[in-house]
Chains A and B, each alone.
Chain A
Amino acid sequence: METEHSQRSAHLPQIAETRNPGMDLDMQWVRAVQANRSAIERRAASLPGRRSVKKAYQAAWLLKAISCIDLTTLAGDDTPGRVRRLCAKARQPVRADLLAALGVGPVTVGAVCVYHDMIAPAVAALDGSAIPVAAVSAGFSAGLSPFALRVAEIGESVRAGAREIDIVISRRHVLTGDWQALHDEMRAFRDACGPAHIKAILATGELGSLRNVARASLVCMMGGADFIKTSTGKESVNATLPVSLVMIRAIRDYHARTGIRVGFKPAGGISRAKDALVYLSLIREELGRRWLSPDLFRFGASSLLGDIERQLEHHATGAYSAGYRHGMG
């Protein structure tokens, strides 16, 4: 079962990579960061026309995308039953006959992402699958509850079995330029996570400028983030290619200077297989092959999987598919 082992262990960064220990806030570095919006938008706009994957390559890339999905439900009406259904889909995201037709073994998604109260049912439903449970935490999604409570919430979620914690940063620290406060906050959240991995959600739609996105990315990495993530999914503007480009360039810069690989998670608004391919090619172009793996890249998405399943069936059969042919999550 070697394949299964490597697949199972691929999800969490610590298996292959040194965890990001963080570093003291380096304001000289932070201040030097620039992000030219027009140039970044041009690059983002030309990328989909610069790379294309077809046929078997496209099928493989889509399977890769599935393995990088944080299958997510963050609704006020979530119930244990709803979460169990999602977890069942996480275990078998693609119909077995399609996988057989494509000539590949079992696949799973990267993680299941839920609110704190849904951790326990999710952990139970995923028992034995090696799929980690991720919890949004620290006063998600506004991040404006008392600081002590936000830290305590992280601890609770880790104790409840979450192996990944998605926290939101305090946007006000970015908007007021209080980088030390952001660094301290990130550090405190990271410490509260203990062994669980921490994804720092920048809520880029609320940061005002790409330059702020670049600087916040860097400060969060200095504060020890294992992943940086674009959005809660609750802002009016979620993941975009320009914002993603800024963040992954920050990741590249951090790696170049420290040797540490930090992961990236675009979240919100990615619902088409084609979008997923563009994101994967963006990662491949700007960060390289190593990042195309669930330990360093995740999609935060709820409806993306459905579109990918339909594309895979099209690849396997040559006929365009229909949604009801694939099991619901």
Chain B
Amino acid sequence: MNIPEILESMEYGPAPESAAEALAWLVDQGDRFGHFIDGAFTDPGEGFESRNPANGEVLALLSQATRADVDAAVAAARKAQPKWERLGGPGRARYLYALARLLQKHARLLAVLETLDNGKPIRESRDIDLPLVQRHFYYHAGMAQLMEQELPGARAIGVCGQIIPWNFPLLMLAWKIAPALAMGNTVVLKPAEYTSLTALLFADICRQAGLPKGVVNIVTGDGAVGEMIVAHPQIDKIAFTGSTAVGRRIRQATAGSGKALTLELGGKSPYIVFDDADLDSAVEGLVDAIWFNQGQVCCAGSRLLVQEGVAEAFHDRLRARMDRLRIGDPLDKSIDIGAVVDPVQLRAIAAMVDANTAGTTYRAATDMPAGGCFYPPTLITGLSPADPLMQEEIFGPVLVSGTFRTPEEAVMLANNTRYGLAATVWTENLNLALDVAPKLAAGVVWVNAANLFDAAAGFGGVRESGFGREGGWEGLSAYTRPKGKARALARVDPFSGDGAPADPIDRTAKMYVGGRQTRPDGGYCRPVWGRSGALLGHAGQANRKDVRNAVEAAQGAGGWAASSGHQRAQILYFVAENLSARAGEFARRIDAMTGRRGGEKEVEASLQRLFAAAAWADKYDGRVAGVPIRGVALAMNEPVGIIGALCADEAPLLGLVSVMAPAIAMGNRVVLAASEPFPLAATDFYQVLDTSDVPAGVVNILTGSHAGIAPPLAAHLGVDAVWSFSSRDLSGEVERAAAGNLKRTWVNDGKARDWYDPDCRPFLAAATEVKNIWVPYGE
């Protein structure tokens, strides 16, 4: 077109970013890559092609890691780890700072390579991914610097196996590697097979930074390599970002291995538009929510919910906006939507949309490129929660939409999902926004915005979107463990006997469900003998239906989460007061069951625990993260929900109180399996609860075999977290069964816990989820 013609058309014309430097870098590497192990690249081996999805061209040949490669990488990481940790936070901070600087220096090369490899628009890799990558390393350089003062009880976990997805290849690498290194861990990272190139360039940058060899190891390959990492006995922690299906398999595979695990999985995040919203801005927000990175974003606002009165007007504006989206060559600077990562993904998106018959499908009236992996921006209106596309993650540029009438209904529809990663709320009414945000089942909530990220704010999900946070102070717990060495926990067995009842009047110990004393569903009881063989009483044998009933009772007590910390503290103090009044009786009961003389001390410690939890109830504050926007990111501690716990066998009262008190102080409801060999302190304790104004259903106590209670409790899809401190070897079983709804787990892995340690904080942390609520402001 000549200039007079352009003056008529006023088209943008081509504005390509040059790929020359990135392609030259690939050529310099021989267009073939091995793995990065122990500070050096291995010779390229058998492998696969890495292609540019925008045009199908082969970019490089990558190696498929063998078991020997993975072993070598893990061995290098293992060898490097102690020295790296001993280097100390300030020493590690310098390396992280150097990495940040080098990432900045090579920013354009990395951005172009990312776009070539992944298909995302150059604007996104240049203006979003790379700045966030650099920020993550700067931020965690600071965390390394501060670790020793601010986290005095924490140390590195060890060797971390990290498996990352193809949608944000370098950014997910940064989210994984920066905090791990800051806390003194070494890593073996596997990038996705579609998108390994920027990870390999990062390996080169590690060399340029002089990072000690073995601290970062990168192996390439497909899911089989991931499985080798997950199963590797010399790896202490697995961090995975990817699909919920694979996350679930990893949870099952690592169950009982003692490996720490964090998972950042899928989502179907709601995008709620109230009728008083700035509708044009909310439409633009959707461009950032679902048409960002071709919709291949785990936290994409993919489920639009619009208030009925403005739905038609909103959809009209939205369709008009869609028509202006430009789709095409990802290296073109005027492109909004680039290529889907691979033909496989393109087919998956098309198949899901084509299978849908509900609602009305609108495809943007925008020019489509002739070849390559491109999918048009798509809107499907008029869907209901019962339609599969309102529930299933499409992971493409496809938005589904429904309507609501009231804020309450908006929350119900928003939460009608197995996922819980992110949510967006659009309204100009602060009262409405701040009322709705905490009610949404999501780890991140954006008010009048979408897809805001920063290293200072934690990111991660609830429900089947996974567990653990990346970023912020809360993200560090994924890469630290308490100092000190735990000893093995000996199995505690009940005594047997045939003696006479110790108590002349028979006392019936029942279970405690929904504020009522209930008999076991199965109708079976077990005698509880003292050490000398005297019959101390009988305790019910809970079966799966008792578990079901207890969880149901807990579900009915949801109001507890909304009570104030002050109210919960008052009730915990009252429990302590009433326990104190019966302290002697409890001490004797404990001594009679355990055959030791520690009862008095255990009761006193239990009272202290109740007081401590009451003290914390209104003091376990959230924080305001220092994110670089005009606004606040509120890191709010929320209760996990319903926690099922197998209580310690060895400390019949203190073990139960240590779990219960912090959990309910934070607003959770609990289903507790009492000490298996010594259940009668727990059954006495429900009488204390009964007289202390604890609302029905907040605390539920079952007795019986841990091995019998664990499977239905850990598998129950209505339970949000399961903890096991049983002296029975149930950690693996609990973690495996928990994979069903990816509930949070905390198990002892056969290690003893010092129940007399007065610090409640590990329990408070496990009893809460951090929700980050982003509230940009400004009139």
Query: CB within 8 Å of B: which residues of A?
Result: 34-43, 46, 49-57, 59-61, 63-64, 102-105, 209-211, 249, 280-281, 284-285, 289, 292
Which residues from B are CB-within-8-Å of A280? Answer: 10
Q: Is B68 on the interface with A (CB-CB < 8 A)? A: no
Asked whether, in the complex, the Cβ of A249 is within 8 Å of the Cβ of B280, the reply is yes
Q: Taking each of B6, B10, B14, which has the highest tally of chain A beta carbons within 10 Å of its own beta carbon? A: B10
- The segment from B271-279, B576-584, B641-649 that touches chain A is B271-279
Asked whether, in the complex, the Cβ of B10 is within 8 Å of the Cβ of A289, the reply is yes
Asked whether, in the complex, the Cβ of B336 is within 8 Å of the Cβ of A50, the reply is yes
Tell me the complex Cα distance, A292–B12, Å. Answer: 13
Tell me the complex Cα distance, A111–B772, Å. Answer: 52
Q: Is B334 on the interface with A (CB-CB < 8 A)? A: yes
Whose C-beta in chain A lies nearest to the C-beta of B778? A37
Asked whether, in the complex, the Cβ of A55 is within 8 Å of the Cβ of B13, the reply is yes
Asked whether, in the complex, the Cβ of A54 is within 8 Å of the Cβ of B778, the reply is no
Whose C-beta in chain B lies nearest to the C-beta of A35? B278
Instruction: List the 4 closest pairs (A to B, CB-CB), nearest first.
Output: A57-B13, A38-B776, A60-B6, A39-B281
Tell me the complex Cα distance, A49–B15, Å. Answer: 12
Q: Is B357 on the interface with A (CB-CB < 8 A)? A: no
Interface residues as binary, B391-410 with A (CB distance below 8 Å gives 1, 0 otherwise) = 00000000000000000000
Asked whether, in the complex, the Cβ of A38 is within 8 Å of the Cβ of B629, the reply is yes
Which residues from B are CB-within-8-Å of A57? Answer: 1, 6, 11-13, 15
Interface residues as binary, B118-134 with A (CB distance below 8 Å gives 1, 0 otherwise) = 00000100110000000
Asked whether, in the complex, the Cβ of B779 is within 8 Å of the Cβ of A60, the reply is no
Min CB distance A3 to B, Å, is: 9
Asked whether, in the complex, the Cβ of B324 is within 8 Å of the Cβ of A285, the reply is yes
Asked whether, in the complex, the Cβ of A51 is within 8 Å of the Cβ of B12, the reply is yes
Tell me the complex Cα distance, A211–B10, Å. Answer: 31
Tell me the complex Cα distance, A172–B398, Å. Answer: 46
Asked whether, in the complex, the Cβ of A38 is within 8 Å of the Cβ of B778, the reply is yes
Of the A-B pairs whose beta carbons lie under 8 Å apart in the complex, a sample of 27, sorted by A's number, is A35-B278, A36-B278, A37-B778, A39-B278, A39-B284, A39-B448, A39-B449, A39-B776, A42-B284, A42-B449, A43-B284, A49-B123, A50-B123, A52-B12, A52-B334, A53-B12, A54-B13, A56-B2, A57-B15, A60-B6, A60-B10, A61-B10, A103-B3, A103-B4, A209-B779, A211-B779, A280-B10
Tell me the complex Cα distance, A109–B630, Å. Answer: 39
Tell me the complex Cα distance, A59–B277, Å. Answer: 40
Asked whether, in the complex, the Cβ of B776 is within 8 Å of the Cβ of A59, the reply is no
Asked whether, in the complex, the Cβ of B779 is within 8 Å of the Cβ of A210, the reply is yes
Q: Chain B contact residues: over half helix, strand or loop, or mixed?
A: loop
Asked whether, in the complex, the Cβ of A36 is within 8 Å of the Cβ of B2, the reply is no
Asked whether, in the complex, the Cβ of A104 is within 8 Å of the Cβ of B7, the reply is yes
Which residues from A are CB-within-8-Å of B777? Answer: 37-38
Whose C-beta in chain B lies nearest to the C-beta of A212? B779
Min CB distance A106 to B, Å, is: 12
Known: A37-B777, A39-B285. 5 other contacts (CB 8 A): A38-B631, A41-B778, A52-B15, A57-B13, A104-B4
Q: Is B526 on the interface with A (CB-CB < 8 A)? A: no
Tally A-B pairs: CB < 8 A. 105
Interface residues as binary, B8-20 with A (CB distance below 8 Å gives 1, 0 otherwise) = 0111111100000
Min CB distance B759 to A, Å, is: 40
CB-CB under 8 A for A40 and B281, given A51-B12, A53-B12, A285-B324: yes
Q: Is B428 on the interface with A (CB-CB < 8 A)? A: yes
Tell me the complex Cα distance, A39–B446, Å. Answer: 11
Tell me the complex Cα distance, A255–B279, Å. Answer: 16
CB-CB under 8 A for A50 and B281, given A57-B12, A103-B4: no
Min CB distance A135 to B, Å, is: 29
Q: Is B333 on the interface with A (CB-CB < 8 A)? A: yes
Tell me the complex Cα distance, A78–B6, Å. Answer: 37
Q: Which of B279, B288, B324 contacts A34 (CB 8 A)?
A: B279
Interface residues as binary, B622-658 with A (CB distance below 8 Å gives 1, 0 otherwise) = 0000000111000000000000000000000000000
Min CB distance A328 to B, Å, is: 25
Which residues from A are CB-within-8-Å of B123? Answer: 49-50
Tell me the complex Cα distance, A103–B127, Å. Answer: 36
Query: CB within 8 Å of A: which residues of B?
Result: 1-4, 6-7, 9-15, 123, 126-127, 276-282, 284-285, 288, 324, 333-334, 336, 428, 448-449, 629-631, 776-779
Which residues from B are CB-within-8-Å of A289? Answer: 9-10
Min CB distance A278 to B, Å, is: 12
Q: Which of B7, B126, B127, B428 contacts A63 (CB 8 A)?
A: B7
Asked whether, in the complex, the Cβ of B779 is within 8 Å of the Cβ of A56, the reply is no
Tell me the complex Cα distance, A35–B1, Å. Answer: 39
Asked whether, in the complex, the Cβ of B3 is within 8 Å of the Cβ of A60, the reply is yes
Which residues from B are CB-within-8-Å of A39? Answer: 278, 281-282, 284-285, 448-449, 776
Asked whether, in the complex, the Cβ of B13 is within 8 Å of the Cβ of A38, the reply is no
Whose C-beta in chain A lies nearest to the C-beta of B310? A32
Asked whether, in the complex, the Cβ of A102 is within 8 Å of the Cβ of B778, the reply is no
Which residues from B are CB-within-8-Å of A209? Answer: 779
Which residues from A are CB-within-8-Å of B333? Answer: 49, 51-52
Which residues from A are CB-within-8-Å of B2? Answer: 56, 103
Which residues from B are CB-within-8-Å of A52? Answer: 12, 15, 333-334
Whose C-beta in chain B lies nearest to the C-beta of A3? B4
Min CB distance B294 to A, Å, is: 15
Tell me the complex Cα distance, A281–B629, Å. Answer: 25
Tell me the complex Cα distance, A57–B11, Å. Answer: 7
Whose C-beta in chain B lies nearest to the C-beta of A208? B779
Which residues from A are CB-within-8-Å of B449? Answer: 38-39, 42
Which residues from B are CB-within-8-Å of A53? Answer: 12-13, 15, 334
Min CB distance A43 to B, Å, is: 5
Which residues from B are CB-within-8-Å of A38? Answer: 448-449, 629-631, 776-778
Asked whether, in the complex, the Cβ of B12 is within 8 Å of the Cβ of A34, the reply is no
Which residues from A are CB-within-8-Å of B630? Answer: 38
Min CB distance A276 to B, Å, is: 13
CB-CB under 8 A for A34 and B7, given A39-B449, A39-B776, A55-B13: no
Which residues from B are CB-within-8-Å of A63? Answer: 3, 7
Min CB distance B505 to A, Å, is: 70
Which residues from B are CB-within-8-Å of A43? Answer: 281, 284
Q: Taking each of A40, A46, A57, which has the highest tally of chain B beta carbons within 10 Å of its own beta carbon? A: A57
Min CB distance B368 to A, Å, is: 19
Tell me the complex Cα distance, A289–B277, Å. Answer: 28
Tell me the complex Cα distance, A280–B611, Å. Answer: 66
Asked whether, in the complex, the Cβ of B127 is within 8 Å of the Cβ of A46, the reply is yes
Q: Which of A54, A249, A292 contacts B10 (CB 8 A)?
A: A292
Tell me the complex Cα distance, A61–B3, Å. Answer: 9
Which residues from A are CB-within-8-Å of B13? Answer: 53-57
Min CB distance A55 to B, Å, is: 7
Asked whether, in the complex, the Cβ of A34 is within 8 Å of the Cβ of B277, the reply is yes
Asked whether, in the complex, the Cβ of A54 is within 8 Å of the Cβ of B14, the reply is yes
Asked whether, in the complex, the Cβ of B10 is within 8 Å of the Cβ of A34, the reply is no
Asked whether, in the complex, the Cβ of A34 is within 8 Å of the Cβ of B428, the reply is yes
Tell me the complex Cα distance, A206–B285, Å. Answer: 28
Tell me the complex Cα distance, A144–B246, Å. Answer: 69
Whose C-beta in chain B lies nearest to the C-beta of A210? B779
Min CB distance A9 to B, Å, is: 16
Which residues from A are CB-within-8-Å of B448? Answer: 36, 38-39
Asked whether, in the complex, the Cβ of A49 is within 8 Å of the Cβ of B127, the reply is yes
Which residues from A are CB-within-8-Å of B276? Answer: 34
Which residues from B are CB-within-8-Å of A103? Answer: 2-4
Which residues from B are CB-within-8-Å of A35? Answer: 278, 281
Tell me the complex Cα distance, A63–B630, Å. Answer: 37
Asked whether, in the complex, the Cβ of B278 is within 8 Å of the Cβ of A34, the reply is yes
Q: Taking each of B13, B281, B282, B448, which has the highest tally of chain A beta carbons within 10 Å of its own beta carbon? A: B281
Whose C-beta in chain A lies nearest to the C-beta of B279? A34
Min CB distance B257 to A, Å, is: 44
Which residues from A are CB-within-8-Å of B3? Answer: 56, 59-60, 63, 102-104
Tell me the complex Cα distance, A103–B7, Å. Answer: 12
Tell me the complex Cα distance, A35–B778, Å. Answer: 10
Min CB distance A246 to B, Å, is: 9
Which residues from B are CB-within-8-Å of A105? Answer: 4
Tell me the complex Cα distance, A40–B9, Å. Answer: 28
Q: Which of A36, A54, A249 contacts B428 (CB 8 A)?
A: A36
